[in-house]
Amino acid sequence: MSDLNWDTLYTDHADAYELLVSHEDYQDNLIAAIQRLQPLAGTTAAEFGAGTGRVSGLLAGRVRRVLSFDFSAAMLRVAQANNWPNVSLALADSRRMPVRAGWADFGIEGWAFLQIAVWHRQDWQVQLGRALDEMQRAVRPGGKMILIETLGTGESRPKVEPFFRTVYNFLEAECGFASLDIRTDYCFETMEQIQSVVVPLFGQAMIERLVKTGAGWVLPECSGLWWREVPV
Mean pLDDT of 195-221: 95
- 134, 48 Cβ separation under 8 angstroms: yes
How many helices (H) and strands (E) are present in the chain, helices listed first?
10, 10
C-beta atoms surrounding 162 within 10 Å: 7
**How does 170-198 read in b/e, with b if 16+ C-beta sit within 10 Å?**
bbeeebebeeeebbbbbbbeeeebbebbb
Round to whole Å and give the CA distance between 128 and 94: 9
Number of domains making up the chain: 1
Residue 175 falls within a domain, yes or no?
Answer: yes
The string of pLDDT tens digits covering residues 33-78 is: 999 999 999 999 999 999 999 999 999 999 999 999 999 999 999 9
The string of pLDDT tens digits covering residues 142-158 is: 999 999 999 999 999 99
Residue 133 falls within a domain, yes or no?
Answer: yes
Mean pLDDT of 127-143: 98
Round to whole Å and give the CA distance between 43 and 39: 8
pTM of the model: 0.96
Residue 195 falls within a domain, yes or no?
Answer: no
The string of pLDDT tens digits covering residues 143-197 is: 999 999 999 999 999 999 999 999 999 999 999 999 999 999 999 999 999 999 9
Residue 206 falls within a domain, yes or no?
Answer: no
Of the candidates 60, 52, 64, the one whose C-alpha atom is nearest the C-alpha of residue 31 is 60
Residue 28 falls within a domain, yes or no?
Answer: yes
Query: In the 8-state DSSP scheme, what is residue 71?
Result: S
Residue 201 falls within a domain, yes or no?
Answer: no
Residue 192 falls within a domain, yes or no?
Answer: no
The domain in which residue 173 lies consists of: 9-186+218-229
| Distance set, CA 90 to CA 42, 53, 93, 131, 167 (Å) | 22, 12, 10, 16, 27
| Helix 14-21 with 73-80: angle, nearest 10 deg | 50
Report the CATH number that the domain containing residue 111 is assigned in CATH.
3.40.50.150
> Is residue 16 very low, low, confident or very high in pLDDT (cuts 50, 70, 90)?
very high
